[in-house]
Each structure stands twice: as C-alpha cells, then as structure tokens.
C-alpha cells in the first residue's frame, strides 16, 4: 500500500466574512449575478453557485454529488434522466465521490458510503477577489459509517467555480491519536458529450491498464488517444496529471493533483439496458474519466490529512 506521511496536521479552511481585513473575498453585490442559493423548495438538497454570465454549478447534499456545471450556459456534466433522488440511492451522473472504497466492497455499498451519505455545507460561500466562488461541504464519521468502516474521519469537499474552470478538492483527515487507516478515493466524473463515438481522451498513450480490478494481465495502450466505439472499462495506474477530452465542439482539460490513477468507463448499449437508472440510449451521451487513488490504498497516519484535487477547464 502507498503510505502517506507528508502532511501530519489537520488542514482547516476557515470561513472569513467578506468584510474581514484579512480576507481576499468580496461580498456578492460587487459581482452582479454572483450568488449562492438553495434550489427551489421542491429540491431542498441542492445548493447552486452562480458566477454570472451563465456559469454555475449545483451540488446535492446527498453524497455531495455535483449534478451540474454550466459554462456560458452550456451544461458540461451528464446526469441520467432516470437518476434517483431519494436521499438513499447514489445519483447516476455528475461527480459522485467513491470513498473509502472504489468498486465492489464485500456486502457493503458499491464504491463506499460517501456518495450515499448526507453532507453539510460549512459556514457559507466565499466570493473571491477575482470573481470566483468557493464553497465547502463536510462529512464526518457517524453511526452508519462506523458500522461499515470502523474509523473516525473528516472529509472536506471544496468547490471552486471559475469563469471557465471548476476545481474540486477533497481533504481527508484522520483525527485519531493512535490508529491509522487505509482508503481509496475516486471522483467518478460523468462528462456530457453529444456523441461518444466522436470523442477521444488523451494523455494515456503507452500506459498499461486493466479491464477489471481483479485482473492479473495488463494491456498496453498503443493509440495516441482513447476512442470509444464499444463498451470500455480501463483502469490505468500512475497516469500523467493532465488528460483532455476532445470533441468536435470543445476540449475539456482534466488536471489532477495527488490522484495517481485514472479510469475510463462507458457501459455501451447492451449493458446500459441492464442499468435501471440509465435510459437505454443515454450511453451515447457521456464519458466517464475518473481521477482516483485506488490501485494502492493510501494509509493515513493519526492526525494526518490527505489532499487531492481535479481541475476541469473548458477551452
């Protein structure tokens, strides 16, 4: 297992009022169209960050799942038309968070519990001097998580909404004084595309991949870019920090920090028909490019904090 021993102190992101002399933030009225709000009354779980000029993002407190990211009014995230919003099931689409396990987990929830727990918003949003908006959500251990995974922890999920960028950062802290724990972490991002057959993913040439977690035989990616013309599951280890999703309409950059592994996934037509919360033809409308750390679980010592992030940018 990878042993993480660099940071040993809890990292805190304090909320500073806009009028604090030490704060780089500005009040919302200085940036017309900038605000944070709850979605309409019939959707009490969704928080919306609006930067103005059609740029916004929405995050559901159930699973801290980001369900929308719009740049100049254009949606960048895919969410299934059959996605279930019952505060129990994982949400199909957006950016679900897989923690502390990626993939099957004995008789426990697939991809861990973070994506099916209710998170809390911490304090409020910061309106930064450059016009960006930052918000933080928090998940801490509770009776349910300890029944599945007997460790104390604190997760802080930070969203930073820029003009054409979205940064998502996860900080995991081990508050124990004497026990370490190991974990896996993946941001299971669903990118919306018009036609997956016209989509390609760069930054993986020459790397080896598995098609299942328990495979023993690897395959080397010999193409300059990954093109999708059928079902695909590829798990790459030790990948470069930058990938690009290239379509006829735009290029989206994915910049990873402290996420050594990458997953490319699409179920394609036949498997899509077996997924109850995915419409039969929707497989053609998304590609999952997932930043993660899962091949070798991270070990977090007592008092330690691990941070990892991905930054998405539309060109």
pLDDT tens, 56-79?
999 999 999 999 999 999 999 999
Residue 182's contacts (CB-CB under 8 Å, 6 or more residues apart) are: 1, 297, 298, 299, 300
- Residue 294 sits at the vertex; the CA angle it makes with 109 and 8, to the nearest 5 degrees, is 105
- Of the chain, the percentage scoring pLDDT greater than 70 comes to 86
Q: Check pLDDT > 60 for residue 113.
A: yes
Number of continuous H segments (helices) and E segments (strands) in the chain: 2, 24
The strand pairing partners of 262, in sequence order, are: 236, 291
Exposed e or buried b per residue across 186-205, where buried means at least 16 C-beta atoms within 10 angstroms of its C-beta: bbbbbbbbeebeebebbbbe
Whether residue 95 contacts residue 188, with contact meaning beta carbons closer than 8 Å, is answered with: yes
Question: What's the token pair of residue 284?
Answer: 């053609």
Answer yes or no: is pLDDT of 27 > 90.
Answer: no
What is the model's pLDDT at position 6?
28
The mean pLDDT value for 134-161 works out to: 97
Could you list the active site residues? 188, 290
Q: Which domains does the chain have, with CATH numbers?
A: 2-314 (2.70.98.10)
Count CB neighbours of 13 within 10 A: 15
What global pTM score does this model have? 0.87
Could you report the per-residue pLDDT of 223-254, keeping only the tens digit for each? 889 999 999 999 999 999 999 999 999 999 99
What pLDDT was estimated at residue 10? 30
With 0-12 / 13-18 / 19 or more C-beta atoms within 10 angstroms meaning exposed / middle / buried, residue 277 is: middle
């Amino acid at each position: 297992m990878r042993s993480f021993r660099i940071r040993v102190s809890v990292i805190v992101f304090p909320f500073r009022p806009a009028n604090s002399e030490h704060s780089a933030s500005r009040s919302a009225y200085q940036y017309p169209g900038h605000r944070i709000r709850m979605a309409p009354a019939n959707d009490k779980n969704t928080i919306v960050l609006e930067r103005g000029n059609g740029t916004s993002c929405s995050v559901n407190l159930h699973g801290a799942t980001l369900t929308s990211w719009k740049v100049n009014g254009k949606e960048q995230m895919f969410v299934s038309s059959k996605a279930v919003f019952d505060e129990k099931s994982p949400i199909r689409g957006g950016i679900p968070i897989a923690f502390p396990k990626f993939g099957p987990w004995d008789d426990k929830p697939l991809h861990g519990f973070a994506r099916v727990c209710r998170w809390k918003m911490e304090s409020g949003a910061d309106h930064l001097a450059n016009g960006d908006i930052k918000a933080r959500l928090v998940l801490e251990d509770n009776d349910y998580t300890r029944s599945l995974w007997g460790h104390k922890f604190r997760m802080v999920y930070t969203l930073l909404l820029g003009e054409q960028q979205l940064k998502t950062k996860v900080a995991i802290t081990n508050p124990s004084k004497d026990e370490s724990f190991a974990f896996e972490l993946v941001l299971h991002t669903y990118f919306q595309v018009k036609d997956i057959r016209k989509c390609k993913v760069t930054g993986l040439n020459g790397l080896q991949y598995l098609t299942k977690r328990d495979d023993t035989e690897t395959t080397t990616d010999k193409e300059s870019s990954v093109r999708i013309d059928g079902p695909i599951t590829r798990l790459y280890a030790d990948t470069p920090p930058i990938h690009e999703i290239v379509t006829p309409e735009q290029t989206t950059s994915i910049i990873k920090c402290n996420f050594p592994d990458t997953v490319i996934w699409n179920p394609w037509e036949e498997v899509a028909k077996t997924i109850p919360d995915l419409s039969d033809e929707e497989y053609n409308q998304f590609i999952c490019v997932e930043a993660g750390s899962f091949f070798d679980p991270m070990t977090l010592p007592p008092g330690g904090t691990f941070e990892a992030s991905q930054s998405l940018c539309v060109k």
